[in-house]
Chain A
């Protein structure tokens, strides 16, 4: 795993996509995240907005854009819940920032790296979520880390499938 300077790597491996992809993919992720539970019931072991956030953060290698994208997707997730808006926003903002920051440092073209990154960032997002709920808002939450582990595995598997598909929309010079 080669380590380059952040600026040079960003300029070297930045991925660009059509504008429609930047809009459509997050919307589809939010919609599916809201719609699929009706079909799958309790087996919601994935977080599509988080996967999309990680993908674009790794691809764009821009922590600001990753943070903003994560924050927006998180806020929209919160907006669909009955909870306070901002809980998922904070978690996704942090995940986007970390993904973009790590993507600057390492080569994330490898599928195994993407798999591990998604898995780890999913756990970070879950930890952040619980931290905010428990310590910032002072709310009681039923914490089941096994479920969060399954969710991290599910996100990794989805990323393993979705990332190559989304890479096909990459604008190549």
Chain B
């Protein structure tokens, strides 16, 4: 018996296990059928054990799932993050450089646009140039531009910006030019203060500040006053902005004189683009040229209109008809229901009498009280001579050639008292050659 057990030990154990489990199954099935309400307490204990074994690791796996995912996303998956970070950093640096370049281009574009607007509106012909270099030392305030002889640049041409004057061209080369700034000690420009109209010479001082010299001490000079070019130096056109008065200091070398420090209007230390005035011939923009042409045309129209009015005056009846005898002149026509009112005759006519400017002293010397005073009238010295000339009544064409242009001709048109003397008749004849309306 013992040998049987030993020999079939494995098989017996298997059978035992199977039978035990089958019995367990049978028990469970029977209880389920009997109670119809789940497992017995002993069966629940096994499930509790299994659950106790499986649930904690499952819970750990469940809660560590997010941790693993986090670990994967933030560590394992970021193996190349450092390299990508470096690449991105390089990209950011490159983009920053590009952004800075674009910003600089935009600023340059704005400056050029402002300069172009100024150049188009400026009356003189200018050439735009870029500042390409400097002297390299603070003692010499000169700089170089990229335009030279080939671009029409010449010495002593004014260099300006839209803000104000910058300096003058000192040396010219084929493709470049050297510009002497106004704050250099060797520079000089005639300037004038806008409100006080005090003139002076603008030079640079040792500190590189432009200052006005040769200015007598004046209480009217205040800080902030505008300084303009005076135009007397034959370099800078008159009226260009130079800057504003920054401070006033006594001239240490000369009593009674002051040195006016000027804050330049142009940014002399940050120049990028400048304009060189190449010609001081006025250059009007197209609109202004149209306006000027229209003005000229208007003047011609006025002359034409004046000529037309003279022609009309010849055709219309006047107060004096040359074809009628004196007693039948419209002025003496008594049949006119609306006669021309005449001022009363002066008892003692003098030079203030209308149409009879005769001074008492002259009138005493005159043979004819009507014509002689006119010869002494300051405004019409030659008219009486013409009127007194015996040849003029017959030759009307000669009368305008010898007569005064306008003032003497206009006087006969004014109402004047009738002259009963026979000498008046010849005098009226030349007036008929120049009707009143024909006065130029």
What residues of chain A have their CB less than 8 Å away from a CB belonging to chain B? 27-28, 30-31, 34-35, 62-64, 67-68, 71, 75-76, 79-80, 84-87, 89-90, 93-94, 97, 100-101, 132, 136-137
Contacts and interface: CB of A to CB of B under 8 A. Distances in A.
Interface stretch (B43-51, B134-142, B262-270): B43-51
A85 B47 contact: yes
A31 B29 contact: no
A85 B46 CA distance: 9
Contacts of A34: 54, 58
Given A75-B46, A84-B29, A86-B28, A31 B14 contact: no
Given A27-B57, A31-B61, A71-B21, A76 B50 contact: yes
Contacts of A63: 10-11, 13-14
Interface of B: 9-11, 13-14, 17-18, 21-22, 24-25, 28-29, 32, 43, 46-47, 49-51, 53-54, 57-58, 61-62
A100 B9 CA distance: 14
Contact of A85 (B10, B43, B51): B43
A79 B18 contact: no
Contacts of A27: 53, 57
6 contacts: A31-B58, A67-B10, A75-B21, A75-B46, A87-B25, A137-B29
Contact of A35 (B21, B24, B43, B61): B61
Leading 4 A-B pairs by shortest Cβ distance:
A79-B50, A63-B10, A86-B21, A31-B57
B46 A31 contact: no
Interface residue SS majority, chain B: helix
A30 B25 contact: no
Most B CB within 10 A of own CB, among A31, A62, A80, A85? A85
A28 B61 CA distance: 11
Nearest to A93: B17
Given A68-B13, A76-B49, A90-B25, 20 more contacts: A28-B57, A30-B54, A63-B11, A63-B14, A64-B9, A64-B13, A64-B14, A67-B14, A76-B53, A76-B54, A79-B50, A80-B54, A84-B25, A90-B22, A93-B14, A94-B18, A132-B25, A136-B22, A136-B25, A137-B25
B51 A80 contact: yes
Contacts of A30: 50, 53-54
A34 to B, nearest CB: 5
B102 to A, nearest CB: 51
A58 B411 CA distance: 151
B43 to A, nearest CB: 6
A75 B20 CA distance: 12
Nearest to B16: A67
A71 to B, nearest CB: 5
B30 to A, nearest CB: 11
B77 to A, nearest CB: 19
Most B CB within 10 A of own CB, among A31, A63, A76, A86? A86
Given A64-B10, A93-B17, A79 B61 contact: no
Contact of A94 (B9, B14, B54, B57): B14
A68 B17 contact: yes
B6 to A, nearest CB: 11
A7 B368 CA distance: 181
A64 B28 CA distance: 25
B67 to A, nearest CB: 15
A31 B54 CA distance: 5
Contacts of A137: 25, 29
A15 to B, nearest CB: 18
A97 B14 contact: yes
Nearest to A74: B21
A76 B55 CA distance: 12
A89 B21 contact: yes
